[in-house]
Amino acid sequence: MPTHIIDRRLNPGGKSLENRQRFLRRAKSLVQGAVKKTSQERDIKDVLEGGEVTIPLDGMHEPRFRREGGTRDMVLPGNKKFIEGDYLQRSGQGSAKDSGPGEGDSEDAFRFVLSRDEFVDLFLDDLELPDLAKRKIAQTESEGIQRAGYTTSGSPANISVSRTVQLALARRIALRRPRKSEIEELEAEIAACTDEDVRIELLEKLAKLKAKSKRIPFIDPLDIRYRRYEKVPRPVAQAVMFCLMDVSGSMSEHMKDLAKRFYMLLYVFLKRRYKHVEIVFIRHTDRAEEVDEQTFFYGPASGGTLVSSALQAMHEIVRERFNPSDWNIYAAQASDGDNSYSDGELTGMLLTDKILPVCQFFAYLEVGESGGSAFDLSDSSLWSLYDRLRNSGAPLSMRKVSERSEIFPVFHDLFQRRETTQEKAAP
C-alpha cells in the first residue's frame, strides 16, 4: 500500500486568521474595553507592543445544555486507606469534591494575546483627526493595485484559467480540431463496418482526424492569458500636527510626564492613521524653539513661561513651510495653565488672529499635580482664556488631566470620531 508523505510546512499558515478576525470583530466591544483598561496600567511605550488582554469569558460564551448538581457517583484511582462504608469530609484535603467533573466552570476570564497591530488598531479604532476636510491632492502616491484586463505574459500565479480555456476552445473550434467523441464514433463505425472499401475510406478519414488532433493541441501556449494588474496612484490628504509643550520651571516632573505621555500617544496615533502627517515639535519656556523628537521627549529645559512665544513660533513655521491652503493643520498644546500675566492678551490675539483661523482643530491639555483637587478650584489664566475662545465658537477642545490613568480617556475624548464637525474654522 503506497503511503504518501507530504511536506506541508510551506503551505501558508494562518488558516485561522480569518476565524480570528471574525472572533475579534465579534468580541470587539469587549476587547476594546480590555485594551483600554490594559493600556491604562501600562507604560505608553509598551502599548505599541501589543500583548495579552483578558476579556470576560461570559461575553464570548457558547452555551450548551449542561447538567449540574444532584447526587454524583465517581470511580477514582489511588485508594490508599478507605474501605467500603467510610465517609469523606466534603471540604478540605482528601476530599474528591474538587477533583470531580465540571472543573471548566472555574474559568472566569478568557485570555489571549493580541498582536501589536491588533492592539493599536483596537485602541485607536474610534479616533480620528477632526475635520480632515481641506483635502488637498498635493501629493500622490502610487500604492493602489487594480485589475486591468488580461495579458499574454505574466507569472504563473496569475494565469486566468477560465480565460485560457475559453480561448483554447475558440481556437479548437476555429481550426476544426476533431472532438474525442467524433474519433470514437468513427472507430465504432470501423469496427462495425463489413464493406472493405468503405472501411478503407473510413480508416483514411480516421488517420486524418488523428493527425489533425495531434497538430492542433488541446491547449496551446498561444491561448494562455494572465490577469493583469495595474498600479494606480492614490491621492493622499496631507496634514501637519504641531505639538506645543510648556517645559517652564512651573511644570513639575509629574506634569511633564503627563504631557509627554499625551504626545507619545498622539505620535502613535498619527503615525498609525495617516501616512502623510508631518509632526512639528515645539517646546517653550519664555522662549520657544522647534526641536527634534528626541529632544522634545527627553531633553532637559527650564525657565519662565511665555505661551505666546510658542504660538508665535508655530505661526512662523506655518508661514514658512505649511501653506494653510495646502495643509490640514492641527495643534495640541500641553501646559500647566500658568502664563505670565502680561502675556495673556498677546496669546489671545495670536490665537484668534493667526493660529485658530488656519487650524482644523486645536487641542489643549492642562496638566495638574497628582491628586489635583486644588486644580479644580479656580481656572488658570490660560484655561479661562481658552474657555472664552471656545465659547465664541473656535475649533478648540480642552481637557484637564492630573493622573496618568486619565491620559487615555482624555485622549479618547479629544479625538473621538465626531458625527459632524461642530464649529468650522474660517477658511
Partner 1 sequence: MTERLFEGADWDFHTLQRITDACEEVALKDLGLDVYPNQIEVITAEQMLDAYSSVGMPLFYKHWSFGKHFAFHEASYRKGLMGLAYEIVINSSPCISYLMEENTATMQTLVIAHAAFGHNHFFKNNYLFKQWTDADGILDYLDFAKNYVATCEERYGRVEVERTLDAAHALMSHGIDRYPGKKKLDLRAEEKRAGRRRQHEEEVFNDLWRTVPKGTAKSRSALSIERRRKLLGLPQENLLYFLEKSAPRLAPWQRELLRIVRHIAQYFYPQSQTKVMNEGTATYVHYRIMTQLHQQGRITDGNFLEFLGSHTNVVFQPEFDDPRFSGFNPYALGFAVMQDIERIVTRPEDEDCEWFPDIAGKNDVMGVLRDVWANYRDESFIAQFLSPKLMRHFRMFHLHDDPEERAGIRVDAIHDERGFRRVRRELARQHDVGYIDANIEVVDVDLSGDRRLILHHHVIKGSQLNETDAKRVLQHLADLWTYDVALIEVDANDKVLREYVVSPRPIPAAVA
Give the binding site for partner 1 (CB under 8 A): 1-9, 11, 13-16, 18-27, 52, 60-80, 82-90, 93-97, 99-101, 103, 110-113
Q: Report the residue number, 93 or 142, with the smaller CB distance to partner 1.
A: 93
Question: Least separation, in Å, of the C-beta of 14 and partner 1?
Answer: 7
DSSP assignment of 143-200 equals EEEEEEEEES---GGGB-HHHHHHHHHHHHHHTTPPPHHHHHHHHHHHHH---HHHHH
Q: Report the residue number, 86 or 419, with the smaller CB distance to partner 1.
A: 86
Question: Least separation, in Å, of the C-beta of 229 and partner 1?
Answer: 24
Question: Least separation, in Å, of the C-beta of 101 and partner 1?
Answer: 7
Q: Report the residue number, 54 or 250, with the smaller CB distance to partner 1.
A: 54
The three grid cell numbers given for residue 158, joined into one nine-digit string:
496569475
Question: Least separation, in Å, of the C-beta of 50 and partner 1?
Answer: 12
Which residue, chain included where needed, has cell 503506497? 2
Contact 124, 269 (CB under 8 A): yes
Number of other residues whose CB lies within 10 A of the CB of residue 377: 6
Question: Least separation, in Å, of the C-beta of 42 and partner 1?
Answer: 18
Question: Least separation, in Å, of the C-beta of 281 and partner 1?
Answer: 37
Chain Cα centroid distance, residue 242: 24
- Return the ∠ at Cα 421 (arms to 416 and 425), rounded to 5°: 120
Q: Give the dihedral of Cα atoms 330, 331, 332, 335; nearest 10 deg.
A: -170
The pair phi, psi for residue 227, each rounded to 5°, is -75, 140
Question: Least separation, in Å, of the C-beta of 53 and partner 1?
Answer: 10
Number of other residues whose CB lies within 10 A of the CB of residue 412: 15
Largest CA distance in the chain: 123
Q: Report the residue number, 83 or 191, with the smaller CB distance to partner 1.
A: 83
How far apart are the C-alpha atoms of 289 and 135, rounded to whole Å? 29
Q: Where are the alpha helices (DSSP H) in 125-160?
A: none
Question: Least separation, in Å, of the C-beta of 423 and partner 1?
Answer: 37
Q: Report the residue number, 74 or 377, with the smaller CB distance to partner 1.
A: 74
Q: Report the residue number, 109 or 170, with the smaller CB distance to partner 1.
A: 109
How far apart are the C-alpha atoms of 39 and 392, rounded to whole Å? 35
Question: Least separation, in Å, of the C-beta of 109 and partner 1?
Answer: 11
The three grid cell numbers given for residue 424, joined into one nine-digit string:
468650522
The three grid cell numbers given for residue 310, joined into one nine-digit string:
510658542
Q: Report the residue number, 2 or 221, with the smaller CB distance to partner 1.
A: 2
Question: Least separation, in Å, of the C-beta of 93 and partner 1?
Answer: 8
Residue 146 has, within 13 A of its CA and on its CB side, a CA count of 6
Q: Report the residue number, 83 or 174, with the smaller CB distance to partner 1.
A: 83
Which residues, at least 6 apart from 391, have a Cβ–Cβ distance to it below 8 Å?
Answer: none
- Return the ∠ at Cα 16 (arms to 13 and 17), rounded to 5°: 85
Sign of CA dihedral 382, 388, 390, 393: negative
Q: Report the residue number, 95 or 139, with the smaller CB distance to partner 1.
A: 95
Q: Report the residue number, 35 or 351, with the smaller CB distance to partner 1.
A: 35
DSSP annotation of 206: H
Q: Report the residue number, 13 or 427, with the smaller CB distance to partner 1.
A: 13
How far apart are the C-alpha atoms of 113 and 48, rounded to whole Å? 13
> CA distances (Å), 392 to each of 347, 399, 420, 423, in order?
16, 17, 18, 10
**Closest to 262 measured CA to CA, from 123, 401, 359:** 401
Beta-strand pair 277-284/239-246: parallel
Question: Least separation, in Å, of the C-beta of 124 and partner 1?
Answer: 21
